[in-house]
Chain A
Amino acid sequence: MADTQLLLGLSFVLFALGLVGVMVRRNALVMLMCMELMLNAVILALVTFSLETATLSGAVLVFLIFVVAAAEIAIAIPIVLLLSRQRSSLDVEGYDRLQG
């Protein structure tokens, strides 16, 4: 059995990477993918906890996260499609119409 804390650390680092990605990248699609990375990190943490506590609930929660991820991508991608069709750009810094 691998070191629990190592897996947890990997999960934290991946989550931080995803967060940094969402914050610093300009491309909307890349930001979406970084959010997927954050979800993946959470899944890793959940699986680790589930193994550690010897209960199934962590793994079950993973499945619910899968569904959430699918739903999220199903809504986010059409929004990105529409945005890019309006501006013909995926650059989030161009989307400043709401700035008032």
Chain B
Amino acid sequence: MNAPDFAISLVYIAYALAVLLTFGAILTWVERKQAAIMSDRIGANRAYVRIPFTQVKLIWLGLFHGMADGLKLLLKEDFKPLAYDKLAYALGPWLAIVPVLLVFAVVPFGGTLDPGRLFPSLAEWFGGRTYPMQIAPIDAGILIVFAFSGITIIGAMLAGWSSANKFSLLGALRAGSQLISYELVMGLTVLGIVLIFGTVNLGTIVERQSGTVLGFLPAWGIVYQPFAAVLFLIAGIAENKRIPFDLPEAESELISGYFTEYSAMKQGVFMLSEFIEIAVIGALFVTLFFGGYNLPWMNDTGFVFPGGHAVPLSHGWVVVLQLLTFLGKVFLLCSFQILVRWTLPRFRWDQLLRFAWKFLLPLAIANLVVTAVALWVQQA
């Protein structure tokens, strides 16, 4: 690894962290505001930042509520219960957030970056190398996603078990069985996409989603696998334990489930990881089914419309457009998850597991078999 590679990696990591943490902070506000607008209310609008030495208050539709929440969680008393196991208690929040952040390492958030063309003064230093906009372009992309989300399960279970609280323990048990069940469904739905694109490398999967099918449809995964997309989204929402599937932290039954005994920033870390997970699930969905950073009719040089009309763009604009496209799609997905959360009623616990094992899993397997047979027929 030489200096330019290292610099690019640092830039990517900084970008990914900034994006994820911003999503985590903003989504707390978006969730409240969107819920308010959905139910004819106004929503959070009280927090403000006063410019020092003036009376100018920046309210900005209450955008600073996320900041206020963070500050409150930081400054609150960190109340430590008589934990059953101090080590596991301290480890819980970390195991919950770190794998979620790491998952984003394999998600491509843009096309190919040519820093030499972007900054001509540095062209010599970079020596004409190009970099895919992905922190770790590893060929085992999807597998890594599932590997890391397996670690989050252990985080939730450790947190619940070590709190020495029966509500936490129940929440942890529920978290364990729910996450394992739905991760299985998620893996099986993704296999259809893997079959179609013939790779598990997320970067390649996104590249193969550029272009069009049948002349007008964008060649996105959702066109090939609409059924798998729905199943994946369901399983994804279940994976980040949000409302139709929020049994592990059901407020009305279990106080707040496996992190009942956590307070101050430790609880904040759990909340933050949950909000980041919304964004990560959105990013995965976008990568697998929504064509990632691709816009229809766009390639590395600009737009080429079906009529043969072309709009060439410079490399910088293409990069910016790809980044923005990805962020916009992820934001739409987050918004959709929030819509689901404020619309659907919750499952009962037995219904939740029955839904996973008796409904989603057979459907996912059927989808996989149909896809495999269709591909086999096509190739034969």
Please say whether the chains A and B touch (CB closer than 8 A): no
- Chain B residues with a Cβ under 8 A of chain A: none
